[in-house]
Structure 1
């Protein structure tokens, strides 16, 4: 545990280089989700590894999104978003939604319009439709907090995880 005097010394230091944070979090295995929204130019979405369950009552989730991301304009203007938990069989889908400039909703992506007009991806482990309740500034990102309205947890398979810069399935 850090002593209070050590904390005061840390307050005087400059932040670490962004590469330190990236290097540390490459070692942190994270579940893979795709966040979708209905945009003015059509559906928008991105791969997220920052999805977090925030509260059970009311049911809230959060995720981070960069303000320079191509999907940020849709997320910034939408009232509702879709959250999709990907299975290990969906590595290609995760890569498509992570790739800049990709036609994320073109073939072979299979999706439909869901509740509140939110794009819902087919074949995922689980999905939620949520109402955005806050967009909190956090550096070059926004932390989006959203209330769960509906969803389906009935998909089959094992989760896809992101670790050491790669998508992977879980091993027994």
Structure 2
């Protein structure tokens, strides 16, 4: 596809307009040796049913992704609407993100499966593609399940957590 001769897109306008798209929130977890690592991620999506693939995007400036990628396996933890504080803890760079966080090994990869999440998707790394200032990560689903039916998803809309109507 060719590039149109269009004026440059203002980064602030880009962020403002795309902030009107509501996204769910996940935490991507893995093991770096025996040390659990993870980061908050709102750019997660299903990609393919056959084969079963998911995708997420990670900033090239991430300090956690370089600790996850070499192991080639990770778990996507889909957050519930009562897990905002958990998400905020995993959004902080350099902190001990797993301090006080209950987790167990995911069934196939052994990556940390966080307690209380809505669902999990246990994956092996399929491919990483360049995406400008991000990397596009594609994972092959090895196992998945719904863990809770008693809560809704944690949503991110217009720079805030919650339900879109709350942030209008």
- TM-score over 0.5 for the pair: yes
Q: Does 1:110 align with 2:102?
A: yes
Partner Cα separation in structure 2 for residue 72 and residue 86 of structure 1: 19
Distance 1:87 1:148 in 2: 21
Contact 1:129-1:150 within 8 A present in 2 as well: yes
Q: 1:100 aligns with which of 68, 93, 99?
A: 93
Residue pair 1:36, 1:46 contacting (<8 A) in 2 also: yes
1:136 aligns with 2:126: no
- In structure 2, the partner of 1:85 is 78
Asked if residue 57 in structure 1 is aligned to residue 55 in structure 2, the reply is no
Q: 1:34·1:86 contact (CA, 8 Å) conserved in 2?
A: yes
TM-score (norm 1): 0.86
Partner of 1:164: 158
- Report the Cα distance in structure 1 between the residues aligned to 2:135 and 2:119, rounded to whole angstroms: 24
- In our comparison, the structure showing a higher alpha carbon Rg is 1
Which aligned pairs between 1:140-159 and structure 2 lie closer than 5 A?
140-156=133-149, 157-159=151-153
Specify which structure has the higher proportion of helix: 1
Q: Provide the alpha-carbon RMSD of the alignment.
A: 2.2
Would the aligned equivalents of 1:160 and 1:170 in 2 still touch at CA under 8 Å?
A: no
Contact 2:121 2:144 in 1 (8 A): yes
Deviation, 1:149, is 0.4
Which residue pairs with 1:17 in the alignment?
10
Unaligned runs of 5+ in 2: none
- Displacement, 1:13? 3.4
Q: 1:90 to 1:170 in 2, by over 3 A?
A: farther
Please show how residues 28-39 of structure 1 align to structure 2 within 5 Å.
28-39=21-32
Instruction: Provide the TM-score with structure 2 as the length reference.
Output: 0.88
Q: Which 5+ residue runs of structure 1 have no aligned equivalent? A: 1-6
Q: Pick which of 52-61 and 18-27 moved more.
A: 18-27
Q: How many residues align?
A: 164
